[in-house]
Amino acid sequence: MGAAGDIEIFRHRLGSIVEEMGATLQRTAYSTNIKIRRDHTCALFDAELRHIAQHDIAPQHIGTLISLVPSAIQRLSIDLEPGDGVLINDPYQGTGALHLPDVVLICPLFADGDLVAYAANSAHHVDIGGSSGGGIPPTSTELYQEGLILPGIRAVRNWEYEDNVLTLVTRNVRGTDQRRGDYEAQLGANRIGQERYRSLVEEHGRETVEDSLDGLLDYTERRLRAAIADLPDGEYHAEDTMDGDGIVEEPLPLSLTVEVDGTDITFDFTGTAEENAGPLNCTPALAFAGALYSIMALLGTEFPKNDGFYRPFETITPKGTMVNPSKDSPVAGGAEIAVRIADLVLAALADALPEETVAGGKGTIVNLSYSGEDPRTDEDYVYYETVAGGYGARATKDGMEAVQAHYQNTANSPIEELEAEIPLYVRRYELIPDSAGAGRTRGGLGVRRDMEFYDHEASFTVLADRATAPPKGLFGGRNAITARYCVNPDGDDPVDLGSKRQVTLDPGDVASVQTPGGGGYGDPLERAPVAVRDDVVNGKLSVDYAREVYGVVVDPETGEIDDQATAERRAELAAEPEGAV
Amino acid sequence: MIRLGVDTGGTFTDVVCYDRESGTVRVTKSPSTPPRFDEGVLNGIDKIRDIVGFDPGDVSYLSHGTTVGTNAVLENDLPDIGLITNDGLRDVLEIGDQTRPALYDLQVEKPPSLVPRRLRRGVPGRLDSRGNEVDPLDEAAVRAEVDHLVDEGVESIVVSMLFSYLNERHERRVGELIEAHDADVAWTRSSAVHPESREYDRTITTVLNEAVKTTVEEYFTRLDAGIAERDLDVPLNVMHSGGGIFSTDQAIKHAIRTVVSGPSAGATAAREVTRAEGLENAIGIDMGGTSADVSIVRDGEIVRSTEGEINDLPVKTPMVEINTVGAGGGSIAWLDEGGALRVGPESAGADPGPVCYGNGGERPTVTDANLLLGRINPSYFLDGEMDLAVERTRDRFTTAIADPLDLSVEAAAQSVVDVANASLAREIRRVTVERGQSPGEFVLVAFGGAGPLQAPAIAADMDMDAAIIPQNPGVFSARGLLLADVRIDESQAYHAETLAVGPLARQFDDLEATLLDRFADQAVDPDEVMLSRHVDMRYEGQSYEIAVPVDPPVDEASVETAVERFHEEHARLYGHARRGEPVAAVTLRASGEVETPPLADRTDDTEADPSKGTREVYFDDEIHDTAVYDRTALSPGRTIEGPAVLEEPGSTSLVPSGTIATVTDSGNVRVELTD
Contact B82, B158 (CB under 8 A): yes
Contact B356, B367 (CB under 8 A): yes
Continuous segment of H or E residues that includes residue A17? helix A6-28
What confidence score (pLDDT) does residue A273 get?
97
Q: Hey, is the C-beta of B147 within 8 angstroms of any chain A C-beta?
A: no
The domain spans of chain A are 3-223, 358-523, 528-575
Tell me if B320 is assigned to some domain: yes
Give the whole-angstrom CA distance, residue B33 versus residue B37.
Answer: 5
Minimum Cα–Cα distance from B544: chain A residue:
A27
Q: Using an 8 Å CB-CB cutoff, list chain A residues near B429.
A: 16, 19-20
If one counts the domains in chain B, the total is 4
Q: Using an 8 Å CB-CB cutoff, list chain B residues near A425.
A: 126, 128, 134
Q: Which of B65, B90, B115 is the endpoint of a domain?
A: B65
Q: Clarify whether residues B88 and B197 are in a common domain.
A: yes
Pick from B433, B537, B545, B620 the residue to mutate for testing the A interface (most A CBs within 10 Å). B433
Give the whole-angstrom CA distance, residue A562 versus residue A548.
Answer: 14
CB pairs under 8 A between A and B: 217
Tell me if B613 is assigned to some domain: no
Nearest Cα of chain B lies from the Cα of A6 at a distance, in angstroms, of 8
According to DSSP, the β-strands at B120-123 and B81-86 are: parallel
Lowest mean pLDDT across B417-421, B542-546, B585-589? B542-546
Beta-carbon separation of B129 and A420 below 8 A? yes
Q: Clarify whether residues B138 and B208 are in a common domain.
A: yes
Q: Using an 8 Å CB-CB cutoff, list chain B residues near A21.
A: none
Tell me what percent of the residues of chain B surpass a pLDDT of 90. Answer: 60
B82 CB neighbour count, 10 Å cutoff: 28
Continuous segment of H or E residues that includes residue B229? helix B199-229
Q: Hey, is the C-beta of A186 within 8 angstroms of any chain B C-beta?
A: no
Q: What is the CATH number of the domain that holds B587?
A: 3.30.1490
Nearest Cα of chain B lies from the Cα of A577 at a distance, in angstroms, of 32
Beta-carbon separation of A59 and B103 below 8 A? yes
Q: Which of B548, B573, B594 is the endpoint of a domain?
A: B594
Q: Using an 8 Å CB-CB cutoff, list chain B residues near A19.
A: 426, 429-430, 433
Nearest CA to A531 out of A441, A454, A462 is that of A441
Q: Clarify whether residues B447 and B502 are in a common domain.
A: no
Q: Which residues pair with A223 in a beta bridge?
A: none
Q: Hey, is the C-beta of A426 within 8 angstroms of any chain B C-beta?
A: yes
Q: Hey, is the C-beta of A79 within 8 angstroms of any chain B C-beta?
A: no
Q: What is the pTM of this model?
A: 0.89
Pick from B85, B95, B196, B372 the residue to mutate for testing the A interface (most A CBs within 10 Å). B95
Nearest Cα of chain B lies from the Cα of A570 at a distance, in angstroms, of 26
Q: Which of B88, B104, B425 sits opposite A429 (nearest CB)?
A: B88
Q: Hey, is the C-beta of A32 within 8 angstroms of any chain B C-beta?
A: yes
Handedness of CA B245, B248, B253, B256 (dihedral sign): positive
> pLDDT digits over B543-565, tens only?
778 899 999 999 999 999 999 99
Minimum Cα–Cα distance from A177: chain B residue:
B581
Q: Clarify whether residues B203 and B117 are in a common domain.
A: yes
Distances in Å between the alpha carbon of B590 and those of B492, B509, B527? 9, 10, 16
Nearest Cα of chain B lies from the Cα of A18 at a distance, in angstroms, of 10
Q: Hey, is the C-beta of B91 within 8 angstroms of any chain A C-beta?
A: yes
Q: Clarify whether residues B273 and B415 are in a common domain.
A: yes
Give the whole-angstrom CA distance, residue A338 versus residue A545.
Answer: 32
Distances in Å between the alpha carbon of A46 and those of A86, A94, B433? 16, 17, 23
Q: How confident is the model at residue B380 (pLDDT cuts 50, 70, 90)?
A: low
Beta-carbon separation of B98 and A404 below 8 A? yes
Nearest Cα of chain A lies from the Cα of B607 at a distance, in angstroms, of 41
> pLDDT digits over B118-157, tens only?
999 999 999 999 999 999 999 999 999 999 999 999 999 9
Handedness of CA B134, B138, B142, B144 (dihedral sign): negative
Beta-carbon separation of B542 and A184 below 8 A? no
B105 CB neighbour count, 10 Å cutoff: 12
| CB neighbour list of residue A422: distance below 8 Å, 6 or more residues apart | A370, A374, A381, A383
Beta-carbon separation of A447 and B416 below 8 A? no
Q: Hey, is the C-beta of B106 within 8 angstroms of any chain A C-beta?
A: yes
Q: What are the residue ranges of helices labelled H in A327-421?
A: 334-348, 415-421
Beta-carbon separation of B340 and A7 below 8 A? yes
Beta-carbon separation of B95 and A400 below 8 A? no
Beta-carbon separation of A35 and B110 below 8 A? no
What confidence score (pLDDT) does residue A9 get?
85
Q: Clarify whether residues B53 and B87 are in a common domain.
A: no
Tell me what percent of the residues of chain B surpass a pLDDT of 70. Answer: 97
Q: Using an 8 Å CB-CB cutoff, list chain A residues near B91.
A: 402, 429-431, 447
Q: Clarify whether residues B301 and B206 are in a common domain.
A: no
Q: What is the CATH number of the domain that holds B318?
A: 3.30.420
Distance of alpha carbon B236 from the chain centroid = 20
Q: Clarify whether residues B176 and B286 are in a common domain.
A: no
Tell me if B435 is assigned to some domain: yes
Contact A550, A436 (CB under 8 A): no
A199 CB neighbour count, 10 Å cutoff: 15
Which amino acid, residue B132? N
Tell me if B99 is assigned to some domain: yes
Q: Using an 8 Å CB-CB cutoff, list chain A residues near B574.
A: 24, 27-28, 185, 188
Provide the chain A residues 191-210 that lie in CB contact (below 8 A) with chain B.
191-192
Nearest CA to A100 out of A64, A65, A148 is that of A148
What confidence score (pLDDT) does residue B675 get?
59
Provide the chain A residues 124-183 that lie in CB contact (below 8 A) with chain B.
177-178, 181
DSSP state at residue B622: E
Name the CA radius of gyration of chain B, rounded.
27
Q: Hey, is the C-beta of B144 within 8 angstroms of any chain A C-beta?
A: no
Q: Hey, is the C-beta of A420 within 8 angstroms of any chain B C-beta?
A: yes
> pLDDT digits over A345-376, tens only?
999 999 999 999 999 999 999 999 999 999 99
Beta-carbon separation of A427 and B88 below 8 A? yes
Q: Clarify whether residues B31 and B55 are in a common domain.
A: yes
Give the whole-angstrom CA distance, residue B657 versus residue B652.
Answer: 16
Beta-carbon separation of B89 and A415 below 8 A? yes
Q: Which of B12, B46, B65 is the endpoint of a domain?
A: B65
The domain containing residue B59 runs over which residues?
1-65
Beta-carbon separation of B129 and A416 below 8 A? yes
Tell me if B315 is assigned to some domain: yes
Supply angle C-alpha B569, B573, B574, rounded to 5.
115
For helices B556-574 and B501-521, what crossing angle results, to 10°? 90
Tell me if B250 is assigned to some domain: no
Give the whole-angstrom CA distance, residue B377 versus residue B628.
Answer: 9
Distance of alpha carbon A454 from the chain centroid = 30
Nearest Cα of chain B lies from the Cα of A231 at a distance, in angstroms, of 15
Nearest CA to A120 out of A156, A146, A148 is that of A156
Counting every residue, how long is chain A? Answer: 581
Give the whole-angstrom CA distance, residue B241 versus residue B263.
Answer: 8
Q: Clarify whether residues B440 and B474 are in a common domain.
A: yes
Q: Which of B89, B429, B574 sits opposite A16 (nearest CB)?
A: B429
Contact A403, A155 (CB under 8 A): no
Q: How confident is the model at residue B114 (pLDDT cuts 50, 70, 90)?
A: very high
| CB neighbour list of residue A300: distance below 8 Å, 6 or more residues apart | A227, A356
Q: What is the CATH number of the domain that holds B47?
A: 3.30.420.40
For chain B, the distance separating the N- and C-terminal CA atoms, rounded to the nearest angstrom, is 46
What confidence score (pLDDT) does residue A2 get?
39
Nearest CA to A307 out of A5, A17, A54, A118 is that of A54
Q: Clarify whether residues B351 and B472 are in a common domain.
A: yes
Q: Clarify whether residues B459 and B519 are in a common domain.
A: no
Minimum Cα–Cα distance from B578: chain A residue:
A181
Beta-carbon separation of A402 and B576 below 8 A? no
Q: Which of B95, B104, B412 sits opposite A402 (nearest CB)?
A: B95
Nearest Cα of chain B lies from the Cα of A358 at a distance, in angstroms, of 7
Q: How confident is the model at residue B295 (pLDDT cuts 50, 70, 90)?
A: very high
Beta-carbon separation of B433 and A23 below 8 A? yes
Q: What integer best gives the mean pLDDT of chain B?
A: 90
Beta-carbon separation of A4 and B129 below 8 A? no
| pLDDT tens track, chain A, 581 positions | 334 567 888 888 899 899 989 988 887 787 767 776 678 999 999 999 999 999 876 777 888 999 999 999 999 989 999 999 999 999 999 999 989 999 999 999 999 999 999 999 999 988 899 988 777 888 899 999 999 999 999 999 999 999 999 999 999 998 777 788 899 999 999 999 999 999 899 988 999 999 999 999 999 999 999 999 999 999 999 999 999 988 888 999 999 999 999 999 999 999 999 999 999 999 999 999 999 999 989 987 678 889 999 999 999 999 999 999 999 999 999 999 999 999 999 999 999 999 999 999 999 999 999 999 999 999 989 888 899 999 999 999 999 999 999 999 888 989 999 999 999 999 999 999 999 999 999 999 999 999 999 999 999 999 999 999 999 999 999 999 999 999 999 999 999 999 999 999 999 999 999 999 999 999 999 999 999 999 999 999 999 999 999 999 999 999 999 999 999 999 999 998 765 44
Distance of alpha carbon B207 from the chain centroid = 21
Q: Which of A13, A222, A447 sits opposite B339 (nearest CB)?
A: A222
What confidence score (pLDDT) does residue B124 get?
98
Nearest Cα of chain B lies from the Cα of A292 at a distance, in angstroms, of 11
Beta-carbon separation of B162 and A410 below 8 A? no
Nearest Cα of chain B lies from the Cα of A177 at a distance, in angstroms, of 9
Beta-carbon separation of A223 and B199 below 8 A? no
Beta-carbon separation of B576 and A28 below 8 A? yes
Tell me if B636 is assigned to some domain: no
